[in-house]
Structure 1
Amino acid sequence: MPCARGQGPRLIASRDCLTAQRAALALVLCGRPAKPVVGPHTELRLADPFRQDLVLREPLAMLAALDALCPGTLFSTDPELRAGQQGLIGHAADADARLAEVTKARNHRDLDIAIHLLRDVMLRIERSFDNRGAAPVLDARDAVIAPLIWRMMLLDRHYCTYLCLGLDRSMALAGRMLDLPGADVVLDDLAAGEFLDQLSPEAVIRLPEDRRPDWAPALGPAGRPQYPSIRPRRKNPILTVRKSSDPVSQPNPSNSDDGQLDVIAEKLRLIRITSQQRRYPGRTTPRLPSRSVVIRLLSNVVGALYPRHFGPAGLNAQTADIFVAQTLRTIRQRLTEQLELEWLLQPDAEQLPCRRRARTDADAFMAGLPQIRDLHDTDINAAFQGDPSAKSLDEIVLCFPGIAAILRHRIAHSLYKLGAPMLARIMAEHSHSLSGIDIHPGAKIGPACFIDHGTGVVIGETAVIGRNVRIYQQVTLGAKRFESDGEGGLVKGQPRHPLVGDDVVIYAGANILGRIEIGKGAVIGGGVWLTDSVPPGAVVTQAKPSLNT
Structure 2
Amino acid sequence: MDGEFKLVIGRAVREMAQFYSSEESFAIKKGRHLPNRGAVIEVLKDLRRVMFPGYFGTENITDTAPEYFVGNTLTEVYVVLKKQIETALLYENEEHKTEEEISDQAMKICKKFFSLLPGIQQMLLKDAQAGFDGDPAAKSKEEIIFSYPGLFAIFVYRIAHELYLMDVPFIPRIMTEYAHSRTGIDINSGATIGEYFFIDHGTGVVIGETTCIGNHVKLYQGVTLGALSTRSGQQLAGVKRHPTIQDNVTIYSGATILGGETVIGEECVIAGSAFITSSVPPRTKVTVKSPELTFKGPVDSNVWE
Tell whether the structures are fold-level matches, with TM greater than 0.5: yes
2:17 and 2:43 map into 1 onto residues whose CA distance is 30
Secondary structure in 1 matching 2:225: strand
1:277 and 1:377 map into 2 onto residues whose CA distance is 41
8 Å contact kept, 2:255–2:273: yes
Instruction: Identify the match of residue 403 of structure 1 among 141, 151, 172.
Output: 151
2:142 and 2:61 map into 1 onto residues whose CA distance is 15
Structure 1 residue 324, shift from structure 2 partner: 2.1
1:483 and 1:313 map into 2 onto residues whose CA distance is 50
Aligned to 2:49: 303
2:39 and 2:7 map into 1 onto residues whose CA distance is 34
Instruction: Identify the match of residue 475 of structure 1 among 217, 223, 230.
Output: 223
2:85 and 2:125 map into 1 onto residues whose CA distance is 27
Instruction: Identify the match of residue 507 of structure 1 among 246, 252, 266.
Output: 252
Aligned to 1:432: 180
Aligned to 1:536: 282
8 Å contact kept, 1:302–1:310: yes
1:285 and 1:500 map into 2 onto residues whose CA distance is 44
Instruction: Identify the match of residue 100 of structure 2 among 328, 342, 352.
Output: 352
Query: Which AA in structure 1 matches 2:145?
Result: V
Runs of 4+ in 1 over 3 A off after TM superposition: 256-280, 313-317, 544-549
| Matched residue count | 291
Structure 1 residue 318, shift from structure 2 partner: 1.0
Higher alpha-carbon deviation: 465-474 or 330-339: 330-339
Secondary structure in 2 matching 1:307: coil
Rg larger in structure: 1
Structure 1 residue 323, shift from structure 2 partner: 2.8
Aligned to 2:301: none
1:511 and 1:314 map into 2 onto residues whose CA distance is 43
Query: Which AA in structure 2 matches 1:327?
Result: T
Structure 1 residue 303, shift from structure 2 partner: 1.3
TM-score, structure 1 length as denominator?
0.49
Structure 1 residue 465, shift from structure 2 partner: 0.4
RMSD value over aligned CA atoms?
2.8
Rate the CA distance shift 1:343–1:259 in 2: closer, same or farther, 3 A: farther
Rate the CA distance shift 1:489–1:370 in 2: closer, same or farther, 3 A: closer
8 Å contact kept, 2:21–2:27: no
8 Å contact kept, 1:479–1:497: yes
TM-score, structure 2 length as denominator?
0.86
Aligned to 1:71: none
Q: Which runs of 5+ in 2 are unaligned?
A: 296-305
Report which structure shows greater RCO (CA 8 Å, sep ≥6).
2
Q: Percent identity?
A: 38
Structure 1 residue 301, shift from structure 2 partner: 1.2
Q: Which runs of 5+ in 1 are unaligned?
A: 1-255
Structure 1 residue 529, shift from structure 2 partner: 0.6
1:319 and 1:261 map into 2 onto residues whose CA distance is 61
8 Å contact kept, 1:332–1:363: no
Query: Which AA in structure 1 matches 2:52?
Result: Y
Secondary structure in 1 matching 2:64: helix
Correspondence 1:493 to 2:238: yes
